[in-house]
Structure 1
Amino acid sequence: MPPPSLSSASPCPCGRLSSGRAPLPYAQCCGRYLDHWDASPAPDAESLMRSRYTAFVRGDAGYLRATWAPEHRPASVAFDPGVRWLGLEVRSHRTTGPDRAEVEFVARQRDAGGRAHRLHERSRFVREGGRWFYVDGEFPRG
């Protein structure tokens, strides 16, 4: 089943704001990466991480696999039925080398039973052939 589409004018699920502090529309934010993977790769690790969050919101396993570093890419991506993603907070992003970066974030979700959960991760990214890829992540304490 194809991932659900978002209206190009809908606020992007990743929560990125414009310089005027207004939510960016999906088409001007993550949509350009998810909907045009071949022509428009994410320009930096934070943008890739935000677009991967949006792919989780949409249930877009193809995009998630395509943006995973090949040596760490799973054979498939499964989604928990009934999960509702509630928001994303990017806590930090930093370059760790010429083609490496880290992004720390907290993603909130509610499971099918109504329980709220937080995913706090420090993700590592690598740039290969001009594209950023998710490598792996660790779960910091606190």
Structure 2
Amino acid sequence: MAKTPSTTVCPCGSLHPYADCCGRFIEHPECAAPTAEALMRSRYTAYTLGCESYLLATWQDATRPAGLDLADDAGKVKWLGLEIRRTEQGGVNDQAGIVEFVARYKVGGRAHRLHETSRFQRDDGRWFYLDGALHEH
């Protein structure tokens, strides 16, 4: 996993330092993201850092793949930014939530967009990614 300096602006687009934003969840697994959106942002950041262990740990058991093979993508994918389009529920008192987002990235110099509506579920006080529906462009 690539290490992000604690004073660097977080890749999730929050404009907060990494250590105060997604870093507190990625670097300290005992700290749970308080909302579905916070988990979504931290998962995006984990993708930018190649942190497969965090991504798998925050994926709901029933839908989690065996692995993501992020090492195969190292150096090939350049993540450019995250835009949260909308959220439904997913707050500190909810058990389910939806986050629609667009993640921009480049592969081999060519720009791409991943537009997804993701579902999240809270179990035992922790948010988990359940699944997502891709939007075609």
TM-score tier after normalising by the smaller chain length: over 0.9
Give distance in 2, aligned partners of 1:36 and 1:98: 23
CA-atom RMSD, angstroms? 1.4
Answer with 72-81 or 96-105: which moved more. 96-105
The DSSP-based 3-state class of the residue aligned with 1:133 is: strand
1:83 aligns with 2:74: no
Paired-residue identity, %: 52
Counterpart selection for 1:34 from 26, 31, 35: 26
Query: What per-residue deviation string (whole Å, max 9, x for no partner) do you get for residues 76-134 of structure 1?
Result: 112224100000000111117940000000000000x2110000000000000000000
Give distance in 2, aligned partners of 1:27 and 1:108: 23
Give distance in 1, aligned partners of 2:21 and 2:118: 20
Residue type of the alignment partner of 1:101: G
Residue type of the alignment partner of 1:100: A
Question: What is the aligned residue count?
Answer: 132
Q: Where in structure 2 are there 5+ consecutive unaligned residues? A: none
Following superposition, the deviation at residue 141 of structure 1 comes to 4.6
4+ long deviations beyond 4 Å: none
Q: For residues 1-142 of structure 1, what are the structure 2 equivalents within 5 Å?
A: 3-16=1-14, 23-38=15-30, 40-79=31-70, 80-81=73-74, 82-95=76-89, 98-111=94-107, 113-141=108-136
Give distance in 1, aligned partners of 2:35 and 2:44: 15
- In the superposition, the TM-score normalised over structure 2's length comes to 0.92
Q: Where in structure 1 are there 5+ consecutive unaligned residues? A: 17-22
The DSSP-based 3-state class of the residue aligned with 1:15 is: coil
Residue type of the alignment partner of 2:127: W
Following superposition, the deviation at residue 140 of structure 1 comes to 3.0
Answer with 125-134 or 92-101: which moved more. 92-101
Give distance in 1, aligned partners of 2:69 and 2:117: 21
Name the counterpart of 1:19. Answer: none
Give distance in 2, aligned partners of 1:140 and 1:55: 22
Following superposition, the deviation at residue 44 of structure 1 comes to 0.4
- In the superposition, the TM-score normalised over structure 1's length comes to 0.89
